[in-house]
């Protein structure tokens, strides 16, 4: 008995390590344990053929359901596929209601919360537009157009990153195509596979063109970022599926069911016509008498086909001519914009010299010489007033940068001296501003564009003679009124009304006046973009537009802009501020000699040591010898031979810590794509001595800030 007990204990001591080792083996290697685990919950888009879609019975079909079926077969774990609208799928995943999300593009924002698998499909993301639209060759050309997108789609962030905010969001891709069929939208972005399917399905493939591809994304699967073990499990399961199995599924849906269906939908009428013709010919071979009648019918059909072909060709020629006219208008508008921008730049340089010399002279004139000081102050004020004209000119050319701030609409309109010149002497302009008008959050240049475009539209409608009234009011919109106007929210608004006593707008075209390139004017009188630009600005600000028109009575445009709580103000300069500064060294570069000399003299009066040079290459040579002495580079933005940013880069190769200020008579819009490491403060021309002192002091103060 004692001997048997010893043998039992020895056996247990040998078996215990084996049992312990078995416990540490991963459960995922045990088929029984894997099958006992809860199903893997997967959410994915329910409207993305051929990858995933619901059939007439509500069952999920497509490439991805078959992928996941193979995954479940290989891993032994059940899968719970939950198709739903894409935006809802993302919300469910973020709330922890699913283990995996499929059909997802990887973006920087999503990467904060999700971990992504390897890509399994490359997807092109194009822009589609109605065949009547032309001149949309790149992303920048989309500004101002209403673009249809899917809720939750990665393309929304891509377009907004490019400054495109006029987006109309739909729950799924099929709704976007149906909206395009109803002419609610003319431009939209849909992933290419789904676009091909739905454009052919709804019979509008011939009405829309693919303009260009915004980018190419990749389908991936993703799990919560804090669950890398699950991502490894998902990827390992798909790695067990063979390339041959993937190809078979791909051929089934992409090569047969999907593309063949679209082909048959498009060509079915022609195939039926061909079959009917062959049937007639076969019958004619059997009976001699019917052959004559069949031949006669064939000839008649041929004549009808020829006539249809001629009609189609004439329509194509007319459409081509219309598109050419639109392209010519766009090119003409761009040429005018470039000319206006160049004129404004040169004019700002002249104003800078006048303003600089006037301020320098004021410094030297004794206070008791009132007459001379008064004359110099008038010169200074006139130069500042003229700078507003250049700002309006840039706004008219659409080259003014968009910088929303609290704006007093009354003050903006009252300062528009350019408006009366545009309207001509035969147009009477009546201005009725409301007292205590609220402020709006808008770029001042956009106010100018709204007023100029609407007034020019009225002037052209009145054929050069009549009256235009401009009025402002404080109003409050009810929820019903804001819904009717498609404004963002009910509440307090500023209403800007521009009306005329012209012939009015015909009722049959009133709904189309805001369509881009739609115009009733001759091709040499208008582009059809003015009202479209006004509409885009107002919608972008969260406002609305109401149009009232009566035949032979005139037209009124009511612009509703949301009020903001901030007060409109301009930064007041402290005239008592002493124009003094520390003895710091500034390298000044400008190829306009008058601007160079006045700026140099102002800086010297401020107490700075200034090295003024006309040419960028002279500045580079000087800097090579005196790099350690220079505290700040103050350079013009646009110069012959080398521009300001290039000069700054060359000097910073020697001195990476060199401070820099760009002076420019242009707008700042061309600085948006400048690399962050090249960024500098910008000083718009013309500038006063106080403004110059403030910018220079601010730039030099950065040297002393703690790091």
Nearest-angstrom CA–CA distance, 41 and 437: 57
- Interior CA angle at 625 toward 619 and 631, to 5°? 70
- Interior CA angle at 183 toward 180 and 188, to 5°? 35
Q: Which domain holds residue 682?
A: 585-704
Nearest-angstrom CA–CA distance, 75 and 238: 9
Residue 468 falls inside a structural domain: yes
Q: Using DSSP, state whether 188 is helix, strand or coil.
A: strand
Give residue 673's pLDDT.
53
Q: Are residues 634 and 666 in the same domain?
A: yes
Q: Are residues 546 and 598 in the same domain?
A: no
CATH code at position 534 = 3.30.565.10
Residue 43 falls inside a structural domain: no
Neighbours of 67 (CB within 10 A): 22
- What interhelical angle do 444-461 and 370-396 show, nearest 10? 70
Start-to-end CA distance of the chain, whole Å, equals 84
**Tally of domains within the chain:** 3
Residue 423 falls inside a structural domain: yes
Nearest-angstrom CA–CA distance, 307 and 301: 10
Closest Cα partner for 235 from 100, 41, 96? 100
Burial of 624 (0-12, 13-18, 19+ CB in 10 A): exposed
Residue 542 falls inside a structural domain: yes
Q: Are residues 612 and 514 in the same domain?
A: no
Q: Per DSSP, what are the bridge partners of residue 681?
A: 661
Positions in the chain short of pLDDT 50:
1-27, 256-263, 265, 396, 399, 401, 569-581, 704-707
- Is residue 588 within 8 Å of 611, Cβ to Cβ? yes
Closest Cα partner for 620 from 583, 658, 593? 658
Residue 111 falls inside a structural domain: no
Q: Are residues 415 and 527 in the same domain?
A: yes
- What interhelical angle do 288-364 and 370-396 show, nearest 10? 170
**Dihedral sign from CA coordinates of 475, 481, 484, 486:** positive
Residue 341 falls inside a structural domain: no
Residue 658 falls inside a structural domain: yes
Give residue 338's pLDDT.
65
Helices (H), 585-703: 593-605, 616-626, 644-654, 689-701
Please say which residue of 506, 530, 564 terminates a domain: 564
Nearest-angstrom CA–CA distance, 268 and 702: 72
Q: Using DSSP, state whether 408 is helix, strand or coil.
A: coil
* Paired sense of beta strands 121-130 and 147-150, if any: unpaired
Give residue 664's pLDDT.
86
């Amino acid at each position: 008995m004692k001997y048997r007990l010893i043998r039992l204990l020895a056996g247990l001591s040998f078996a215990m390590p084996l049992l312990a080792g078995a416990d540490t083996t991963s459960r995922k290697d045990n088929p029984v344990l894997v099958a006992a685990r809860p199903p893997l919950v997967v959410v994915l888009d329910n409207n993305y053929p051929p990858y995933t879609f619901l059939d007439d019975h509500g069952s999920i079909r497509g490439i991805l359901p078959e992928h996941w079926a193979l995954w479940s077969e290989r891993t032994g774990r059940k899968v719970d596929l939950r198709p739903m609208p894409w935006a809802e799928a993302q919300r469910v995943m973020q709330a922890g209601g699913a283990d995996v999300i499929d059909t997802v593009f990887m973006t920087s924002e999503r990467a904060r919360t999700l971990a992504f698998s390897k890509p399994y499909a490359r997807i092109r993301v194009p822009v589609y537009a109605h065949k009547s639209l032309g001149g949309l060759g790149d992303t920048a050309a989309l500004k101002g157009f209403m673009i249809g997108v899917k809720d939750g789609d990665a393309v929304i962030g891509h377009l907004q990153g490019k400054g495109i905010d006029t987006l109309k969001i739909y729950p799924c891709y099929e709704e976007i195509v149906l909206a395009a069929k109803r002419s609610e939208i003319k431009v939209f972005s849909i992933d290419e596979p789904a676009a091909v399917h739905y454009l052919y399905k709804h019979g509008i493939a011939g009405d829309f063109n693919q303009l260009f591809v915004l980018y190419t994304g990749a389908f991936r699967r993703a799990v919560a970022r804090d669950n890398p073990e699950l991502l490894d499990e998902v990827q390992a399961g798909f790695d067990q599926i063979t390339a041959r199995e993937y190809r078979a599924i791909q051929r089934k849906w992409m090569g047969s069911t999907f593309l063949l269906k679209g082909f048959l939908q498009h060509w079915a009428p022609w195939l039926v016509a061909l079959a009917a013709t062959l049937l007639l010919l076969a019958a004619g071979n059997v009976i001699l008498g019917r052959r004559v009648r069949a031949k006669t019918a064939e000839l008649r059909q041929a004549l009808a086909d020829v006539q249809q072909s001629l009609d189609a060709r004439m329509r194509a020629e007319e459409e081509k001519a219309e598109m050419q006219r639109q392209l010519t208008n766009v090119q003409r508008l761009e040429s005018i914009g470039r000319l206006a921008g160049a004129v404004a730049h040169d004019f700002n340089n002249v104003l800078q010299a006048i303003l600089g010399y006037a301020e320098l002279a004021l410094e030297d004139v004794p206070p008791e010489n009132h007459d001379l000081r008064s004359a110099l102050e008038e010169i200074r004020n006139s130069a500042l007033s003229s700078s507003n004209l250049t700002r309006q000119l840039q706004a008219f050319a659409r080259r003014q940068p968009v910088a929303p701030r609290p704006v007093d609409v009354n003050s903006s309109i009252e300062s528009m001296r350019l408006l009366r010149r545009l309207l001509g002497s035969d147009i009477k302009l009546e201005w009725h501003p409301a007292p205590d008008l609220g402020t709006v959050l808008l770029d001042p240049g956009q106010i100018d564009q709204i007023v100029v475009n609407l007034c020019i539209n009225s002037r052209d409608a009145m054929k050069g003679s009549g009256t235009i009234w401009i009025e402002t009011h404080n109003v409050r919109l009810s929820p019903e009124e804001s819904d009717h106007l498609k404004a963002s929210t009910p509440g307090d608004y500023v209403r800007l009304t521009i009306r005329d006593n012209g012939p009015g707008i015909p009722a049959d075209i009133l709904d189309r006046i805001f369509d881009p390139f739609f115009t009733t004017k001759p091709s040499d009188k208008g582009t059809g973009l003015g009202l479209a630009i006004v509409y885009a600005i107002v919608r972008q600000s969260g406002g609305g537009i109401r149009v009232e028109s009566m035949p032979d009575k005139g037209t009124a445009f009511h612009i509703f802009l949301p009020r903001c709580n901030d007060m409109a103000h301009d930064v007041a300069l402290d005239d008592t501020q002493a124009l003094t500064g520390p003895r710091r060294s500034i390298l000044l570069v400008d190829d306009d000699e008058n601007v160079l000399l006045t700026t140099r003299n102002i800086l010297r009066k401020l107490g700075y040591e200034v090295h003024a040079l006309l040419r960028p290459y002279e500045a580079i040579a000087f800097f090579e010898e005196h790099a350690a002495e220079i505290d700040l580079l103050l350079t013009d933005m646009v110069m012959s031979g080398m521009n300001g940013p290039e000069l700054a880069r060359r000097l910073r190769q020697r001195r990476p810590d060199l401070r820099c200020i760009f002076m420019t008579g242009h707008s700042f819009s061309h600085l948006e794509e400048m690399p962050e490491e090249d960024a500098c403060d910008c000083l718009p021309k013309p500038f006063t001595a106080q403004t110059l002192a403030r910018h220079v002091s601010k730039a030099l103060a950065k040297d002393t800030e703690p790091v």
